Amino acid sequence: MGLVVQKYGGSSVADAEGIKRVAKRIVDAKKNGHQVVVVVSAMGDTTDELIDLAEQVSPIPAGREFDMLLTAGERISMALLAMAIKNLGHEAQSFTGSQAGVITDSVHNRARIIDVTPGRIRTALDEGNIAIVAGFQGVSQDKKDITTLGRGGSDTTAVALAAALDAEVCEIYTDVDGVFTADPRVVPKARKIDWISFEDMLELASSGSKVLLHRCVEYARRYNIPIHVRSSFSGLRGTWVSNEPQGDQQVEHAIISGVAHDVSEAKVTVVGVPDKPGEAAAIFRTIADAEINIDMVVQNVSAATTALTDISFTLPKTDGARAIDALEKAKGQIGFESLRYDDQIGKISLVGAGMKTNPGVTASFFEALSDAGVNIELISTSEIRISVVTRADDVNEAVRAVHTAFGLDSDSDEAVVYGGTGR
Amino acid sequence: MGLVVQKYGGSSVADAEGIKRVAKRIVDAKKNGHQVVVVVSAMGDTTDELIDLAEQVSPIPAGREFDMLLTAGERISMALLAMAIKNLGHEAQSFTGSQAGVITDSVHNRARIIDVTPGRIRTALDEGNIAIVAGFQGVSQDKKDITTLGRGGSDTTAVALAAALDAEVCEIYTDVDGVFTADPRVVPKARKIDWISFEDMLELASSGSKVLLHRCVEYARRYNIPIHVRSSFSGLRGTWVSNEPQGDQQVEHAIISGVAHDVSEAKVTVVGVPDKPGEAAAIFRTIADAEINIDMVVQNVSAATTALTDISFTLPKTDGARAIDALEKAKGQIGFESLRYDDQIGKISLVGAGMKTNPGVTASFFEALSDAGVNIELISTSEIRISVVTRADDVNEAVRAVHTAFGLDSDSDEAVVYGGTGR
């Protein structure tokens, strides 16, 4: 039995009862012979309450102090969890990100882990302790200031520690049973996935699936740390994310892993752009200089009569106003006629490594959307993903239609047969 | 203008409004040309709430983890205070006890400061920052674990930092206007003291005055750091505590500094102790081995007929049960007839260096008590203090009578004249 890293989110430790339930689960893993390292988030709404307090004293909280404030949340949950474990008769010690050796860069509020030196964790384990580590936080390499890793940071802490400690597995405990073939709130027939490759999980994460964040999966893939996403409430086996399925992890030779959707983006269309070299570069340099990440890009075929074209791209709604502002300011320099902004769009993505070798996936995807009466506005593809942009109102219906068409519904036994001449 | 250390208690930073008010006061000191180091406690009831949470997960919270938990409180208040200061246009940085170089022993929950290495604080000040430091906490020298200093620990943090940084003064901001000649809740005519010596303040603190704790005053005396106790609400000049009065600090050649009282103690009487060498030692060794601190001790004159005597001592009520338990267990070995326990006692203490050179203070004290009809059960004295134990019900009346008798009432202009042949 080797070393296991377990991560528990805020909803799993929302109150004293939750903490005691989690403590029991941790002790069970220890009793099974594992060395156990636990990464824990702040309790329930603690982080939101701290943010509220910060906004009451200062409209624009400062980076360094904001991180100092937020890290109080994990300090509370990890100390309570260690106490609860000790109360069950097992030894436990809690460690801040700094004490656990989570070294980051100096970008407050969204720092990146640059090294993990878990000497104190290793010592605590060797002395028979369960080690509890504060998620979401680290210490900056140059200034020794407390930093936080931004949204989903605790998952990344867990994977980074698992890599540094050469763990067998990183278990991510959450309030759902695992990764599903689609969001169960939209597709009631969505199935829990038993096993999924890092590649497919990365595509799902960047296409709107919220169970695991892209950064965390990327880290796990780089160090080849299997992730097991599972429920802290049910204790059932969840979803394994790894390079290759192990043992009895079911694969079923799935062609398609799942259908993701995302309604958090908006579309910007730059109308009447001169169709000549350098124009697109000028537009996207302007957007990049405003530190905005864009997602999909489409350039229309130039109308022969005018030598003008339109360029559309999607970006997070929260960055929409800044993008429009930046482009308007650069209008004279770039040279375009007008801007259109549309925040009523949605994106549906079909993800699966199987589409590389199964021609006809694209055709089936479009047929399913067409049968559901959904109009496609933009298309973008990777080797193992097809994404389309539609009206936001059509997204839920489109996801259900595609989920059914590819035989992903939980009560469907039909195999989907593809024909045609590739995608 | 030199360096000032300011300490704000939990009631001063109980909510966002309090934090903003304190931030303004700090910025005022900075504007006056001072370098400012601020030590802050946890907000209002935070510590009690954290203790509640701990008790919900574990009936006997463990030392190390309990300290980790409690220190989250100051982390929140110090970060918010730094944000509020920055919002006023001044630079501020917050530091944990560990970052501020507060090095302690390894006794969790009541650690002692053994060194202060404030290199990061000095750097922050030199760069023009206001430094905010978490009170009540440090880091253990050997294990590098987070420790807390126990009750009143933030005051000690402030004085220790003031000593290490060679500050001009350590300002203790609280919710009262300073140190009073008696507890104003008991004696409405109590006067605020303008200046008091370390020695008298130490006696008041150990006699029940709660404004400053003994440990903090002792630290200030050792390093000769003047303390200024004042209100964070009124901003009025408070009480200076130092070796010698400075400038316009009023002294009025006071004979008596104040009257303290304490109803937190109980009295244990060991009845029928053989009146021979070693008996008292055996009793107090038993108490000491139970890690109980005793206060007053009185041995009755032996009754000639029996060669048995009674020994009484006082101790904190909270230690009463343990003391009785320890003595009962050692009964056969020590040899005594029975134990009596009385938790309905109170202690009244008169404190003032003037009593060294003013004969008759003791007589006036006892006369005042007698005139008020208060019976004296035990007496104990030091060079600058007289304490008596009475019934708890008599304490408030006794304090008022003594306060009046020594001309301490705020509307009294009479000087008290002592006659007689010494105390």
User: What amino acid is encoded at A276 in this protein?
Assistant: K
Predicted-complex ipTM score: 0.80
What mean pLDDT comes out for the span A80-86? 97
Interface test with A, best of B50, B76, B77 (most A CBs within 10 A): B76
- Helices (H), ranges, B98-152: 119-126
What pLDDT digit, counting tens, does each position of B14-39 carry? 999 999 999 999 999 999 999 999 99
Taking contacts as CB-CB distances below 8 angstroms, the residues of chain B near A80 are 53-54, 57, 65, 69
Between chains, do B75 and A69 touch, taking CB under 8 Å as contact?
yes
pLDDT greater than 60 at residue A14: yes
Query: Which position has the token pair 């519904």?
Result: A409
Q: Which residue of B has its CA nearest to A19?
A: B57
Is A407 among the domain residues?
A: no
CB within 8 Å of chain A, chain B residues 3-32: 16, 19-20, 23
pLDDT greater than 90 at residue A33: yes
Phi, psi of B347 (to 5 degrees): -125, 135
pLDDT greater than 80 at residue B280: yes
What pLDDT digit, counting tens, does each position of A206-232 carry? 999 989 999 999 999 999 999 999 998
If asked whether residues A232 and A291 sit together in one domain, one would say: no
Any chain A CB within 8 A of the CB of B78?
A: yes
Rg for chain B, CA atoms, rounded: 24
Is A320 among the domain residues?
A: yes
- Please tell me the total count of domains within chain A: 2
Query: Which position has the token pair 């055996």?
Result: B282
Nearest Cβ partner for B68 among A53, A71, A94:
A94
If asked whether residues A326 and A208 sit together in one domain, one would say: no
What strands lie across the sheet with B146-148, from one edge to the other? B113-116, B102-104, B137-140, B146-148
pLDDT greater than 70 at residue B252: no
If asked whether residues A252 and A282 sit together in one domain, one would say: no
What the block records as the tokens of A89 is 């008769």
If asked whether residues A83 and A130 sit together in one domain, one would say: yes
Query: Which position has the token pair 């300073």?
Result: B178
- On whether the CB atoms of residues A241 and A196 are closer than 8 A, the answer is yes
If asked whether residues A81 and A31 sit together in one domain, one would say: yes
Nearest Cβ partner for A57 among B19, B56, B66:
B19
What pLDDT digit, counting tens, does each position of B165-217 carry? 999 999 999 988 999 999 999 999 999 999 999 999 999 999 999 899 999 99
Taking contacts as CB-CB distances below 8 angstroms, the residues of chain B near A60 are 87
Nearest Cβ partner for B94 among A50, A68, A83:
A68
Q: Which range marks the domain in which residue A283 is found?
A: 270-295+308-341
The CATH number of the domain holding residue A285 is 3.30.70.260
Closest by CA position to A62, among listed B75, B24, B83: B83
What mean pLDDT comes out for the span B73-102? 96
If asked whether residues A282 and A220 sit together in one domain, one would say: no
pLDDT greater than 90 at residue A133: yes
Between chains, do B93 and A64 touch, taking CB under 8 Å as contact?
yes
What pLDDT digit, counting tens, does each position of A139-151 carry? 999 999 999 998 8
What mean pLDDT comes out for the span B147-154? 91
What mean pLDDT comes out for the span B353-381? 89
- Max Cα-Cα span within chain B: 81
Any chain B CB within 8 A of the CB of A54?
A: yes
Report the distance separating Cα B71 and Cα B133, nearest Å.
12
Closest by CA position to B238, among listed B325, B179, B159: B179
Is A394 among the domain residues?
A: no
Q: Looking at per-residue confidence, does B210 or B124 come out higher?
A: B124
Taking contacts as CB-CB distances below 8 angstroms, the residues of chain B near A23 are 57
If asked whether residues A186 and A326 sit together in one domain, one would say: no
pLDDT greater than 70 at residue B250: no
Residues B98-108 as b/e (b if ≥16 CB within 10 A, e otherwise) read bbbbbbbeeeb
Burial grade of B324 (CB within 10 A; 0-12, 13-18, 19 or more): middle
Nearest Cβ partner for A69 among B61, B80, B87:
B80
pLDDT greater than 80 at residue B384: yes
What pLDDT digit, counting tens, does each position of A157-177 carry? 999 999 999 999 999 999 889
Give the global pTM: 0.84
The CATH number of the domain holding residue A78 is 3.40.1160.10
What pLDDT digit, counting tens, does each position of B360-371 carry? 898 899 999 999
- On whether the CB atoms of residues A27 and A90 are closer than 8 A, the answer is yes
DSSP A94: E
If asked whether residues A289 and A180 sit together in one domain, one would say: no
pLDDT greater than 60 at residue B422: no
Any chain B CB within 8 A of the CB of A82?
A: yes
Is A79 among the domain residues?
A: yes
Is A347 among the domain residues?
A: no
Report the distance separating Cα B197 and Cα B195, nearest Å.
7
Closest by CA position to B154, among listed B226, B213, B234, B98: B213
Rg for chain A, CA atoms, rounded: 24
Taking contacts as CB-CB distances below 8 angstroms, the residues of chain A near B53 are 16, 76, 80
Between chains, do B68 and A86 touch, taking CB under 8 Å as contact?
no
Taking contacts as CB-CB distances below 8 angstroms, the residues of chain A near B62 are 82-83, 86
Q: What is the pLDDT of residue A250?
A: 63
Is A419 among the domain residues?
A: no
pLDDT greater than 90 at residue B306: no
Between chains, do B82 and A65 touch, taking CB under 8 Å as contact?
yes
Report the distance separating Cα B10 and Cα B40, nearest Å.
8
Report the distance separating Cα B252 and Cα B275, nearest Å.
48
Is B284 among the domain residues?
A: no
Any chain B CB within 8 A of the CB of A297?
A: no
Burial grade of B187 (CB within 10 A; 0-12, 13-18, 19 or more): buried
CB within 8 Å of chain A, chain B residues 327-386: none
Report the distance separating Cα B71 and Cα B137, nearest Å.
7
Is B408 among the domain residues?
A: no
Closest by CA position to A78, among listed B111, B149, B143, B57: B57
What count of other Cβ atoms lies within 10 Å of the Cβ of residue A161? 29
If asked whether residues A215 and A274 sit together in one domain, one would say: no
Query: Under 8 Å CB-to-CB from B72, ≥6 apart: which residues?
Result: A72, A73, A75, A76, A79, B50
